[in-house]
Chain A
Amino acid sequence: MRIVKQAAIAALALMAVTGVVQAKEWKNIRVAVEGAFPPFNFVSADNQIGGFDVDIAKAICEKMKAECTFAVQDWDGLIPALQAGKFDAIISSMSITPERKKVIDFSRPYYQSPSSFIAPKTAGIKDTSPESLKGKTIGAQSSTVQAAELEEKYKDSEIKLYPTQDEVNLDLVSGRIDMLFVDKLPGLDWLKTADGACCEFVGTDMPTDGVGAGVRQSDTDLRDQISEAIVAIKADGTYDKINAKYFPFSIWKD
């Protein structure tokens, strides 16, 4: 018992020490984006990153009076690289999910968007319940809320998972998949493109828990500062300006 007690005290002391270290001011924040999820984040032809996530991240950093540097990281590697300390925050349209919360921490949501099905206009799909999509091939980006939802509820459909959303879209156009399941807002954006003209939203949307900035579980101070900054940019109108730049309606989540 004594050893346990000592260990507990030592652990507490360590937490206290690291706690002090962590309460540092965040002057430099390394932010990661996927860079393949327009209009939220993308890498343009001249190698500049942009998008809603990036604009929000910049506004947050400005509010926090911190210098932000951006890194582009593959979607599947975002959480592992965050944990490995390659950067400090993921601001890349990452939905807040119970599984992710087990390994990282999230700020308050900075936007919300439901999940939607997209199918070719000619397919005539109306109902998107698991029963009526039995036998259909449905695509989604791997490691997303949508992929998890499909795996969990659409067991009788064939699920195909891709590294990026662009590839899911490509395969819907080429007809390898019957439909895809995607975050509604990037879906909306894609439907406006020449490739997306083939297709439309079908069935019923599914709500999600919103999108937050992901940080390491040890960086609670950073998490709280980002949350405060999100509220602050909403209050001073910066958020609404950025919102209006990308969407004709509000995507804010209270």
Chain B
Amino acid sequence: MNWDALATYGPRMLQGLVVTLQLVAISITLGALLAWPVALARMSRSRLLRGVAFGYMYFFRGTPLLAQTFLVYYGAGQFRVQLEAVGLWWLFRDAFFCCVLTFTLNTAAYQAEILRGAIKAVPIGQREAAMSLGLKPRQIFRKIIMPQALLIALRPLGNEVILMIKGSSVAAIVTVFDLMGVTRLAYSRTFDFQVYLWAAVLYLIVVESIRRIWDKIEHYLTRHLRTA
């Protein structure tokens, strides 16, 4: 163990971990909110809405997160004058905001695809049964389709959270001192590979925590499926 490096960079790495968690928590939450309208638009009867949603998902799922982050961060830098004119430059000036924006758009595309798949996976008989009971379309969606779809979506959504935690390390490339950013800094000073090992352990702990939380959620949500 390199205790010197741990004493110097250990606390900073924990601060970096907090930044990583904030980044992921905000992006995943906003992404989840955005994913619903996108998923619904994707299944809409309107060709235009379907097309727009398809294009959006196609782009964000089809290009690397790193490229998207660069596009937003350095792309915004090129449009400073225009952004200033509409009073948005102060937002785009901030690297953390640029990352939250990119990650949100990225994860929303994935989450929308997960939701769409989950909604489609609910057996058609469920809808027919609900209709025969005289439920309104809105009620059917909220009370019958959505609860079952969310259960199907739970595991893939957990996957998406985990991918986002690891993917968020690209924030380090655009000057955000997240866990990876601090680790790179520590490595560039100490030239000791250990720091990457510590970072890996911290990421592992976070991912393992998510995994356990997800197990708990699933256990709770599937309580009606278990035989006593």
Contacts and interface: CB of A to CB of B under 8 A. Distances in A.
B74 A103 contact: no
B185 interface: yes
Contacts of B190: 99
A164 to B, nearest CB: 10
Contacts of B175: 139, 160-162, 171
Contacts of B184: 76, 142
Given A173-B77, A176-B77, A176-B93, A148 B173 contact: no
A183 to B, nearest CB: 16
A207 interface: no
25 contacts: A76-B187, A76-B188, A80-B191, A99-B190, A99-B191, A100-B191, A102-B191, A139-B175, A142-B185, A148-B189, A151-B185, A160-B175, A161-B175, A161-B185, A162-B175, A163-B173, A167-B74, A170-B74, A170-B77, A171-B77, A174-B76, A174-B77, A174-B80, A175-B80, A176-B93
Interface in B172-199: 173, 175, 181, 184-185, 187-191, 193
Interface in B55-97: 74, 76-78, 80, 89, 93, 95
Interface string A53-71: 0000000000000000000
B30 to A, nearest CB: 23
A204 interface: no
Contacts, number: 44
Given A80-B193, A100-B191, A161-B185, 6 more contacts: A143-B188, A147-B188, A161-B181, A170-B77, A174-B80, A176-B95
A79 interface: yes
Nearest to A147: B188
Given A76-B184, A142-B184, A99 B189 contact: yes
Interface residues of A, number: 24
A167 B175 CA distance: 10
Interface in A71-100: 76, 79-80, 99-100
Interface of A: 76, 79-80, 99-100, 102-103, 139, 142-143, 147-148, 151, 160-163, 167, 170-171, 173-176
Contacts of B80: 174-175
Contacts of B185: 142, 151, 161
Among A139, A151, A161, residue most surrounded by chain B Cβ atoms (within 10 Å): A161
A143 B183 CA distance: 12
For the complex of A and B, the 5 pairs showing the least CB-CB separation, nearest first, are A174-B77, A143-B188, A160-B175, A103-B191, A174-B80
